[in-house]
Structure 1
Amino acid sequence: MLRIVLGTALLAVAATPLAAQNRIDGQAPNAPALSAYGSYAVGVRQFDLVNRNQIDVAAIDPTGTGELARYDRPLTVEMWYPAATDSIGATSFNTYLRDGVTEVTLEGRAIRNAAPPKESNPFPLVVVSHGYPGNRFLLSHLAENLASKGYVVASIDHTDSTYRDQRAFASTLVNRPLDQRFVLDEMARLNADAGSDFAGLIDTDNTGLIGYSMGGYGAIVSAGGGLSESAMRLGPRDTLAIHREGSETHDALPDPRIKTAVAIGPWGMNVGLWDAEGLAGIEIPMLFIAGSNDRTSGYDNGIRKIWEGATGVDRALLTFEGGGHNTVGPIPAPVESIAAGVSGHYTDPVWDTVFMNDVGQHFVTAWMDLELKGDSTMQRYLDLQQNGSDGVWSVDENGAFRDDHTYWLGFPEGAAEGLSYEVLDAQVAPVPLPASVWLLGLSVAGLGALRSRRKGKA
């Protein structure tokens, strides 16, 4: 069920001096090239969705018996999209801080309820999931930036997981992948609705997922990473069994419309939510973004381990040396967050938030353009030396790069320090020996050659 909300407390309001301080569209002086906003004007609208007859995980008595409680699960979605070039209107909006009480005004570039452009080519869809707790505006900087580059971006308020309605953690574990799939279906319905402003403009057949923290957990499960047997303990009355690796329900979850995913600080590997078999089930290329000092999701025993274990797909890992769990995820801390005592929810002790977000926008742009738009020119921004500090900056007197220039493409001199970008290719499944080999009695040498092929040596 979907309806557009045109009159709520979250509608854009006139900008104020305070709102101007809480900008989400900042660009650091040393921002990499692809972090800049694109050529499209940006619009934003709010939708209220309802996923009918869902299990009410937060209401379950773990010791109870009988039928599980059910409810109509509400999901508010903020959608950023390319807008008509002549769009005008307010670009500020209200939201709540981490404390769930303090309301603040943020300022961006998206125009509330702007008309979409009059063009026939649809835009790829990106579905965004926040952390626990969070809300649909936590990654609004990234959503708005991508919309300016020709994407429709649907960011979800995950019920039971927002600053205002935080409830049982098990609800987040069960519902994140289901919410992502449901919102994809609703965006497809909106695209097919001839009476909608967005009819024919949302290419849901080319969809990407972006998830931060618990949103990253959901993206991994949606991508095919089924949960381990030990993870089942975290869901009351076996409610997590629907995401168990090898179950019929999880096997049916990955959606062919979802072509790629970006997981920012994904949580769960450090507490055993996946085993090797589950991670090997990931079906789509993934970009992972992490801080090497992430104490919430873990780095070596968490995010990096997921990246290493997703053996069935091509994947990359962007690491901020010394960065924590807030690496790339949240908006810059609103000024009111200091007085409210929650500024640490948005900041990193090592890295500047605006610069981190710029780097994230740069890499996500290259990744999504390559995977969803098929823009092969973006590959050059991803063919990098592993460590940014190892690159050589070499220009001639005219500012042109010399042949020995190896610095990360798109980064100003010195801006890639402390960053690493690593790539792993999908492992090719072994080629089984056919029974006819034995029936024909091939020579030992022939068998050796075949076995070499199985190992990728021939």
Structure 2
Amino acid sequence: MTPGPRIAVLIAGAALAQAAQAENAIDLVRPDAPELAAHGQYVVGVRTLTFTDEDRIDVVNTTAEGTPPVAPREITVEAFYPAAEGTEPGGTYDAILRDGMTSVTLTGMAARDAAPAEGSFPLVVISHGYPGNRFLMAHMGENLASKGYVAVSVDHPDSTYSDLGAFASTLVNRPVDQAFVVESMAALDDDLGAITDAERTGVVGYSMGGYGALIFGGAGVTEAAVTRTEPERFVPPQRLLARNQAGSAEHAALVDPRVKALVAIGPWGRNTDFWDAEGLATLEKPLLLVAGGADDVSEYDSIREIFEETSGTNRHLLTFEGANHNAAAPMPAPAEAWEVSDALGRAPFDHYADAVWDNVRMNNILQHFATVFLDLHLKGDETRAGYLDLVETAEDGTWSTGEDGTPDADHTYWTGFPNRTAMKLRFEARQAE
């Protein structure tokens, strides 16, 4: 039986959608994306680098007694950067899915090992969750690099899909990894190092990456977190978490004056009392918090506590109403993630996707606000401040423009968002006290 015209169109549309999905594109920008989600003026290059911290405390192999061992800690990063004029854009990434086994190919706009552009560009460190890997937010790396940043997305040992170790290692090492990557990028003596300005550094962290960013930025953990005895997975041996404790000399030494801004997406920790108001108040870096209003992992109410209690800095909170813990950060689920994984016994789709929001839309909104925030604080672009002066609830804004698109006096819709596209978003601000 021959399908009717409408059925044939639907079948053709589904086939095209499947073909597009099979490409696993990470560089999509929707036609209704906010203004600054668009790619910037630079073609993007990408390199894979490995840095080794020769004498890191080996948390996984530390026992209850004796001197904690040290071992080399190798950290692999994907470095995205503005590429030289004439570079042909486009390339692929070989990545691993959440199940730790399935290989996938991602496509993006970056050209592998391209020569860097001329100039000097701020550094941004991108830090994934537990578990995750350096490709989970590669969309952000590419997008920022196209706008004149060197964006370095990190594989954190003991915390990736294919190298998943004790959670205690992540608790101790995450901010130390971030600090080490900044130092390693600052010390590069090649052509990429020549264009990297580590004196203007930002950190973007998701979930445990957000936990690390807050500690690295100055919010030391509590004494209660250091001395707790349960649950066991939250207890690093021999009080090794003390190096991240508020008021300790080690934590004070960790905080880097080169870091000028933090973006923490669904940061974990306040829900389990790793911070209190006193410890969070010591953070002085400008802070953009991003959260799903239904986050049940880091818990939305706890993220709001971080927002209220980081009283030592100017901070903002962007909320995706109805979204869970996957709000904004993860790339679109690769096609292979739609299939059941033997290792997990389920499809890993839910590790990437949200039940309410489209990934590409969330990615684009995050790219917009991250661009605004980092341009303001790392590049000193004061024209970006207007993009942060918004009515709190987007739906309370009024769209009112002339025929030529010029805003009328009563126009209060979110700056940079096309009409009707800022639905179910909330943006709040607090000043340092």
CA distance in 1 between partners of 2:280 and 2:146 (Å) = 33
Check whether the contact 2:262–2:286 (CA below 8 A) recurs between aligned residues: yes
Residue type at the aligned position of 2:181 = V
Q: Does 1:367 align with 2:373?
A: yes
Q: Deviations over 1:38-81 (max 9, x none)?
A: 000000000011111111111123xx311112210110011000
Check whether the contact 1:123–1:201 (CA below 8 A) recurs between aligned residues: yes
Q: What are the within-5 Å matches in structure 2 for residues 222-233 of structure 1?
A: 222-232=216-226, 233=228
Structure 2 CA distance for partners of 1:396 and 1:263, relative to 1, 3 Å: same
Check whether the contact 2:43–2:89 (CA below 8 A) recurs between aligned residues: no
CA distance in 1 between partners of 2:22 and 2:381 (Å) = 35
Q: Does 1:202 align with 2:196?
A: yes
Structure 1 counterpart of 2:250 = 249
Aligned counterpart in structure 2 of residue 134 of structure 1, from 118, 125, 132 = 132
Check whether the contact 1:263–1:286 (CA below 8 A) recurs between aligned residues: yes
Aligned counterpart in structure 2 of residue 159 of structure 1, from 157, 160, 172 = 157
TM-score normalised according to structure 2 size:
0.91
Q: Which runs of 4+ in 1 moved over 4 A?
A: 17-20
Structure 2 CA distance for partners of 1:18 and 1:403, relative to 1, 3 Å: closer
Structure 2 counterpart of 1:10 = none
Structure 2 counterpart of 1:295 = 296
State the shift of 1:400 in Å: 2.7
Check whether the contact 2:89–2:109 (CA below 8 A) recurs between aligned residues: no
Aligned counterpart in structure 2 of residue 423 of structure 1, from 425, 429, 432 = 429
Q: Deviations over 1:75-118 (max 9, x none)?
A: 0011000001211375111100000000000000000000001x
Aligned counterpart in structure 2 of residue 379 of structure 1, from 379, 382, 385 = 385
Q: Deviations over 1:323-361 (max 9, x none)?
A: 100001100000100113100000001111100110000
CA distance in 1 between partners of 2:268 and 2:98 (Å) = 19
Q: Please give the secondary structure, in 2, of the residue aligned with 1:60.
A: coil
RMSD value, Cα = 1.4
| Structure 1 alignment gaps of length 5 or more | 1-16, 428-458
Check whether the contact 1:95–1:106 (CA below 8 A) recurs between aligned residues: yes
Check whether the contact 1:393–1:405 (CA below 8 A) recurs between aligned residues: yes
CA distance in 2 between partners of 1:407 and 1:107 (Å) = 34
CA distance in 1 between partners of 2:164 and 2:134 (Å) = 14
Structure 2 counterpart of 1:147 = 145
Structure 1 counterpart of 2:337 = 337
CA distance in 2 between partners of 1:50 and 1:203 (Å) = 21
State the shift of 1:27 in Å: 1.3
CA distance in 2 between partners of 1:407 and 1:175 (Å) = 42
Check whether the contact 2:267–2:303 (CA below 8 A) recurs between aligned residues: yes
State the shift of 1:174 in Å: 0.5
Structure 2 counterpart of 1:318 = 318
State the shift of 1:283 in Å: 1.7
Check whether the contact 1:208–1:258 (CA below 8 A) recurs between aligned residues: yes
CA distance in 1 between partners of 2:81 and 2:89 (Å) = 15
CA distance in 2 between partners of 1:266 and 1:53 (Å) = 28
Q: Deviations over 1:218-260 (max 9, x none)?
A: 0000010010111113221100011111111111111000011
Structure 2 CA distance for partners of 1:227 and 1:389, relative to 1, 3 Å: same
Q: Does 1:390 align with 2:396?
A: yes
TM-score normalised according to structure 1 size:
0.86
Check whether the contact 1:22–1:334 (CA below 8 A) recurs between aligned residues: yes
Q: What are the within-5 Å matches in structure 2 for residues 169-208 of structure 1?
A: 169-190=167-188, 193=189, 196-208=190-202
Q: When the two structures are aligned, how many residues end up with a matched partner? A: 403
Structure 2 CA distance for partners of 1:199 and 1:320, relative to 1, 3 Å: closer
Aligned counterpart in structure 1 of residue 120 of structure 2, from 122, 129, 135 = 122
CA distance in 2 between partners of 1:365 and 1:208 (Å) = 11
CA distance in 1 between partners of 2:277 and 2:353 (Å) = 33
Q: Deviations over 1:360-419 (max 9, x none)?
A: 000000000000000000011111000100000112233332111110011011111100
Residue type at the aligned position of 2:222 = S
| Structure 2 alignment gaps of length 5 or more | 1-18, 229-234, 342-346
Residue type at the aligned position of 2:294 = N
Structure 1 counterpart of 2:240 = 239
Residue type at the aligned position of 2:72 = D
Structure 2 counterpart of 1:454 = none
Structure 2 counterpart of 1:9 = none
Structure 1 counterpart of 2:96 = 96
CA distance in 1 between partners of 2:110 and 2:363 (Å) = 18
State the shift of 1:21 in Å: 2.5
Structure 2 counterpart of 1:217 = 211
Which segment drifts farther, 229-238 or 217-226? 229-238
Structure 1 counterpart of 2:5 = none
CA distance in 2 between partners of 1:47 and 1:335 (Å) = 27
